[in-house]
Amino acid sequence: MPDTKYLRAMFGAAREHGLTKEDLNDAAMVGFQKVSLRDLTNDEARTILDGIRGKKRRTNHGVSGHKHSDRGYAMAVAGRRRNDDSPGEYMVAARELEMLSDAAGLRGWSRETLDTFIRRQLHGRQIRTMKDFNKVFWAIKAMNRRDGLTGKYDRPRAETPKE
């Protein structure tokens, strides 16, 4: 059973947003397969409360949202040199394709130029898995860094002092 403070906060937030007790019970059933709000854990109650308030729970998942997962690990290492030990084969999502388009856009590439680059990197194949994506994305990212181009998915690098 969640602490009383969470139940009070849930009912108060629900009242502010025009939700009923039945709506809250439906959220508990859909989200956590719990019949009643009293069956929830504190963490589950906080998740429902944050959902009512429209907040995103703070997690340590980085830009991709997959930092500490098998998919996050595959995003980091699959297809990269000396790292073919990814935990599984993951299909590329729209978010990764958007990242790729943004990185190519920084270079001023058209879609046609990007498609040509992809075919050259993947020996005629199209991007299907995270391994394919990383082979293309990290190459473009390296070229962008070399040329001083940064986008929303790049962290600024610390300047090394030149002597």
Query: Taking CA 104 as the corner, what is the angle to CA 98 and CA 108, rounded to the nearest 5 degrees?
Result: 130
Q: At what angle do helices 130-146 and 70-77 cross, to 10 degrees?
A: 50
Determine the pLDDT at residue 61.
46
d(CA 150, CA 122): 24
Helical H segments across 17-153, by residue range:
21-32, 42-53, 70-77, 94-106, 111-121, 130-146
Per-residue pLDDT of the chain (163 residues; tens, 9 = 90+): 778 888 888 888 888 878 888 888 888 888 788 888 888 888 888 888 888 777 654 444 444 455 556 666 666 667 666 655 555 677 888 888 898 999 999 999 999 999 999 999 999 988 888 888 888 998 999 999 899 888 766 655 555 555 5
Determine the pLDDT at residue 64.
47
Determine the pLDDT at residue 19.
81
Joined together, the tokens standing for residue 147 give 């040329």
In contact, 49 and 9? CB cutoff 8 Å: yes
d(CA 102, CA 106): 6
d(CA 9, CA 14): 8
Determine the pLDDT at residue 130.
83
d(CA 11, CA 110): 52
Determine the pLDDT at residue 63.
47
AA identity, residue 124: G
pTM of the model: 0.51
